[in-house]
Structure 1
Amino acid sequence: MSASDDSSTPGTELVPVKFSRLTRRGVLLGLSVSQLVALGIGGASLVWAFYAGGGLLIAMTAPIWLVAAAITWVPVAGRPLVEWLPVVIWWAWRTTIGQLAYRRRIVVPRPEGTLALPGDMARLREYVDPETGAGMIHDPHQSTLTAIVEVTHPAFVLLDPAEQQRRVTSWGRALATVCRSGRVATVQVLERTLPDAGQGLAEWWSEHGTDDGSWPARTYAELIDRAGPAGERHASTISLSLDMKAAARQIRTAGGGIRGAAAVLRQEMTTVTAALRAADLNPGDWLGTGQIAVVLRSAYDPAIAATLERHGELGHDLATAGPVAVTETWTRLRTDSAHHAVLWISEWPRSQVYPGTFLAPLLLTTGIQRSFSLICTPMRTDQAVRDIRKKKVEYVSDASQRARIGQIEDAGQTAEYQDVLRQESDLTAGHGVLRYTGLVSVSAETVDELEAAVSAIEQAAIQSSCETRRLVGQQAVAFTAAALPLCRRV
């Protein structure tokens, strides 16, 4: 999908857009590498048996080539069996070595500067930028440095079409700015629902109310006190991850090490902040380590979220922000006070939709605690050009091969090729190219409530013209990408 960089004056009507289809084209005749390997093994065994003696050997090797044919073409949940093998094998390995359960060792001190998080996130380190006070998360294995900013904005669906179109164009320019840099590894937009602690209502009452001790004033104050914790609010953050390998030269110029990386990331933060303001979004200060700790703790322990907001500095320590216990199953994740399930948006709308409003059924679902994460991976212009050129060559060669063997070209393949041509046209016009991954994390106190909430989210996604799939066998990794603003990937 392209990020618009058009400087023309937006029109008076909101212009519909069309998403690119998920590419399902294989390496040869629609078959993926794993399918070709399985088919090659089965075919080799059959050919060997035929030339080595025929009849009896063919019967003896039948289990090999029959199983190879089955796992190559038999689909399970929309994917051939052979593509499930890595997931199942990795799950079996993790089960064997006991990686499905995490328990914090409360009597063993952690190294200074580390985050008390499970799994591969235990390697993350915290760093406080001395100039901005922003908390930065360093991943030494992936060579990334991430900063987070909370963004507020007016209700998009309540704006008039001309204002909506102007904001969409401005947001496209902001994304195009990120693409041009070449130093940004990932941009994550996280929108989550939280139990409302009543702070907003209390602040409104203190500013606009008249607390004169009368019966109406006391009744209104009691109503606010009771209604606050029962409600919910929406919080949006944008995370920016610096690719320290791509920015190695600039980091050395800035002094090297984590301090030099922070200086380079600070430049990107300034650019992104200006772009967000130009898009009429209201970025606050970049989150400090204490605020990041509250976000992480609220994701793993939703029951404490309202309490953390009400009590000032409570929970503002990254060293204790992680979960006490995590248990992963094939389809769910259990943390301190909630059960979680992560859905992957496997198909975006195939028809034209209006930006910002087509996801309204999904984002405005009430009574469900969920996090919607949009992970954007910018591609440099030269990489995007090479990728598009490679796809065009593959599509043309595949079409030629299908024509040679008499296979009919279907509409899906033609639509994918048109998507590639449209991306090439957008890139030529100066737009940026990003790869999007959409994840939805659903949380509930019990398993039954979780399944009911997942069903409601799936129905809301259908209303948004999206297709969702539950990520099985990888719920722990998916949860960190969907619910935490750390620019993690699945």
Structure 2
Amino acid sequence: MSAQTLSSEESEWDGARFGREESTGVVFGLDFLQVLFLGIGMVIAVVFVIAGGFPGGTLAAAGTVAVFGGLGIPRVFGKSFLKWVQVFVVSLSRRRTGQNEYMPEEEGIDVAIGDDGVQLLPELDVIDPPRRSEDTPRDKKGRIAPLKPARLMLPGEFGELLVYQMPGGSAFAYDPTAKEGVVVAQISTHKAFGLESFDNQEARLRAWAEAEATIAGIDGVLRVQMSDQTTIVSGAAVLDHYDQEVNNAQVAEDPDTGEKVHQAGEAIDPFLHQSLVDMLSAAEGQPVHGMWMSIVLSQTKLAKRIHSSGRGIRGFMETALVAMGAIESALPESGTEVVRWHSPRSLAALVRSAFDPASSVEISERGDDGVDVSAAGPMWAKDSLATFSSEGALHRTFKISEFPRSQAQLGFLSGFIFSGDFRHTVSVYMKPRDIGKALKTNERSRATWGTNETIRQKLGKQKTRRNDRQIEDLDQEEEELVRGHAALKMTILITVSAFSEEEMDANISQLKTSAARANCELRVMYGQQDSAFMASATPLGRLSV
């Protein structure tokens, strides 16, 4: 214990902490909408004084200032009161017009592929892409010859995604509206981070930071989604995985019989082996952790490279294959590796199980067969202010709005990942930023704080420790950028699923306990539950919250 404490004190991560939630604003922490609203109130107050005189006009002006100030200044859960009014108005409007409820349409849009890539036409019969055995071909010049894609039937704006199959069987999800492409990797960690020594944890964290910088530096990467989903799978599927691991174990010769046996399972401990087999055979489902990494690429930023690689969708796919190779080589040092790149059917399986958690056991029994792409979306979904409902399940998505306020411990997010044996997904988003632009933004923020402090002093306002900490955060950010750290904007979302309000309350209670232990603050994504669910629980990299 003392040795670990000493290592921690001598660690380069000693004293590491996260910045507070930004509240720089335009002036005094007020955003543009607040400043505009208060400005309008001041103008109306001045008109009352001029037109009404004293005392009537003055009283009317005082009342106006009180009303506008009461509505325009307060901030609730990180948002101004005015923005919350917008959220409630939009939510109410969607409910009145029925836009918060979704049922899939029978018809889709067609996609015809010409020499230059993809051309969208009005109508389409939605079909499933080929399986791995029917690999995507290349023409005589070695260029990818894209086959007809399938459309993901999803709610609202998310229904524009088209799924292609690339050479090798990997899925390529293309958004023709946002001009983005998404590839999804199944990842695994081959070491138990929490069981390693402090020095080894540091080494892995250092390697992971380097991997993050490498991935962020890949041309065209817009966002990276890394998710860990606790779900329920078939006990038979777990047993099959166990048998596969036993068969892949090292083989040794028995000195007594001369027989070659695998050094795992029954050969190590017959009693424990049989107990595990009996338990898995009797269990309907077992909680497991599925991990994926989604890479979102920008067609606009990669326009030149796409053009030189064959143009259109084929050029975009070629560029994605290069990025996938770079990611595979960047991860292993951190103890993480790409197990495989999801195929169209396995990608559809992840999406389907997100909307319908009850189908997770059935889907897991299918293995690599997955789900038809056209059947990945929900048959029914409904969005409300605090929940998102689909296929009889309830989902609520939270955002980690405040990270540890004191010393951040290595691996503190594990408390959320292992917060309980219930369906939940923890998704970490990294959005790469240009170093130069990040430094300029930092400089503007510090200048704004300097101006605010000058005005505060002139008005005789007391200096607060909270303001000092936010200035320290900006200084720390500048120092890290100058030292060469990757400029990343981090967002962490957590989706909790249940099949009743009582179950949801119990699951959320466990999650909040984990948040308290990690010294983090959770915030419900009120009014954004549909887009927050898509960003957190599905592997499509669609961060719009």
TM-score, length of structure 1 as denominator length: 0.91
Counterpart pick for 2:234 among 180, 197, 211: 197
Written as runs of structure 1 = structure 2, the 5 A alignment for 1:90-239 is 90-105=90-105, 111=126, 113-130=150-167, 132-153=168-189, 154-198=191-235, 199-205=237-243, 207=246, 221-227=277-283, 229-239=284-294
Change beyond 3 A, Cα 1:12–1:267: farther
| Alpha-carbon shift at residue 180 of structure 1 (Å) | 2.4
Deviations, residues 203-235 of structure 1 (Å, cap 9, x unaligned): 425745569xx99998764432113x3420111
| Alpha-carbon shift at residue 166 of structure 1 (Å) | 0.8
| Alpha-carbon shift at residue 478 of structure 1 (Å) | 0.7
| Alpha-carbon shift at residue 67 of structure 1 (Å) | 2.8
Distance in 2 between residues matched to 1:58 and 1:393, nearest whole Å: 36
Distance in 2 between residues matched to 1:175 and 1:217, nearest whole Å: 39
SS at the partner of 1:284? strand
Is residue 2:367 matched to residue 1:331? no
Task: Report if aligned partners of 1:384, 1:433 keep a CA contact under 8 Å in 2.
Answer: yes
Give the AA of the match of 1:435: K
Change beyond 3 A, Cα 1:107–1:44: closer
Deviations, residues 269-301 of structure 1 (Å, cap 9, x unaligned): 111111112322121121110110110011111
Distance in 1 between residues matched to 2:475 and 2:271, nearest whole Å: 68
Change beyond 3 A, Cα 1:59–1:301: same
Give the AA of the match of 1:119: G
Give the AA of the match of 1:15: W
Distance in 2 between residues matched to 1:209 and 1:348, nearest whole Å: 42
| Alpha-carbon shift at residue 202 of structure 1 (Å) | 3.7
SS at the partner of 2:151? coil
Change beyond 3 A, Cα 1:272–1:314: closer
Deviations, residues 382-408 of structure 1 (Å, cap 9, x unaligned): 221221222222222222222222222
Q: Corresponding residue for 2:28? A: 29
Change beyond 3 A, Cα 1:77–1:393: closer
SS at the partner of 1:350? coil
Q: Corresponding residue for 1:6? A: none
SS at the partner of 1:417? helix
| Alpha-carbon shift at residue 61 of structure 1 (Å) | 6.6
Q: Corresponding residue for 1:277? A: 332
Task: Report if aligned partners of 1:202, 1:224 keep a CA contact under 8 Å in 2.
Answer: no
Change beyond 3 A, Cα 1:210–1:361: closer
Written as runs of structure 1 = structure 2, the 5 A alignment for 1:292-311 is 292-311=347-366
Q: Corresponding residue for 2:89? A: 89
SS at the partner of 2:13? coil
Q: Corresponding residue for 2:13? A: 15
Distance in 2 between residues matched to 1:110 and 1:466, nearest whole Å: 47
Written as runs of structure 1 = structure 2, the 5 A alignment for 1:11-90 is 15-16=13-14, 17-54=16-53, 55-57=55-57, 64-77=64-77, 79-90=79-90
| Alpha-carbon shift at residue 256 of structure 1 (Å) | 1.9
Distance in 2 between residues matched to 1:204 and 1:222, nearest whole Å: 13
Q: Corresponding residue for 1:249? A: 304
Task: Report if aligned partners of 2:126, 2:374 keep a CA contact under 8 Å in 1.
Answer: no
Task: Report if aligned partners of 1:188, 1:375 keep a CA contact under 8 Å in 2.
Answer: yes
Counterpart pick for 1:442 among 493, 496, 508: 496
| Alpha-carbon shift at residue 484 of structure 1 (Å) | 0.8
Q: Corresponding residue for 1:413? A: 467
Task: Report if aligned partners of 2:183, 2:295 keep a CA contact under 8 Å in 1.
Answer: yes
Give the AA of the match of 1:134: S
Change beyond 3 A, Cα 1:110–1:88: farther
| Alpha-carbon shift at residue 319 of structure 1 (Å) | 1.0
SS at the partner of 1:181? coil
Written as runs of structure 1 = structure 2, the 5 A alignment for 1:337-416 is 337-356=392-411, 358-416=412-470
Flag structure 2 segments of 5+ consecutive residues without an equivalent.
Answer: 1-7, 109-123, 128-149, 247-263
Q: Corresponding residue for 1:425? A: 479
Deviations, residues 241-264 of structure 1 (Å, cap 9, x unaligned): 112222222222222212212222
Give the AA of the match of 1:188: Q
What is the CA RMSD across the aligned residues, in angstroms? 2.6
Flag structure 1 segments of 5+ consecutive residues without an equivalent.
Answer: 1-9
Change beyond 3 A, Cα 1:313–1:167: closer
Task: Report if aligned partners of 2:46, 2:61 keep a CA contact under 8 Å in 1.
Answer: no
Distance in 1 between residues matched to 2:9 and 2:238, nearest whole Å: 36
Distance in 2 between residues matched to 1:379 and 1:264, nearest whole Å: 20
| Alpha-carbon shift at residue 163 of structure 1 (Å) | 1.3
Change beyond 3 A, Cα 1:429–1:289: same
Distance in 2 between residues matched to 1:359 and 1:175, nearest whole Å: 17
* Bigger Cα Rg: 2
Q: Corresponding residue for 2:342? A: 287
Distance in 2 between residues matched to 1:312 and 1:280, nearest whole Å: 25
Task: Report if aligned partners of 1:180, 1:380 keep a CA contact under 8 Å in 2.
Answer: no
Task: Report if aligned partners of 1:12, 1:162 keep a CA contact under 8 Å in 2.
Answer: no
Distance in 2 between residues matched to 1:58 and 1:110, nearest whole Å: 68
Change beyond 3 A, Cα 1:157–1:100: same
Distance in 2 between residues matched to 1:44 and 1:236, nearest whole Å: 55
SS at the partner of 1:231? strand
Q: Corresponding residue for 1:7? A: none
Counterpart pick for 1:474 among 518, 528, 545: 528
SS at the partner of 1:196? strand
Change beyond 3 A, Cα 1:238–1:215: closer
Task: Report if aligned partners of 1:11, 1:165 keep a CA contact under 8 Å in 2.
Answer: no
Distance in 1 between residues matched to 2:428 and 2:342, nearest whole Å: 19
Matched residues, percent identical?
26
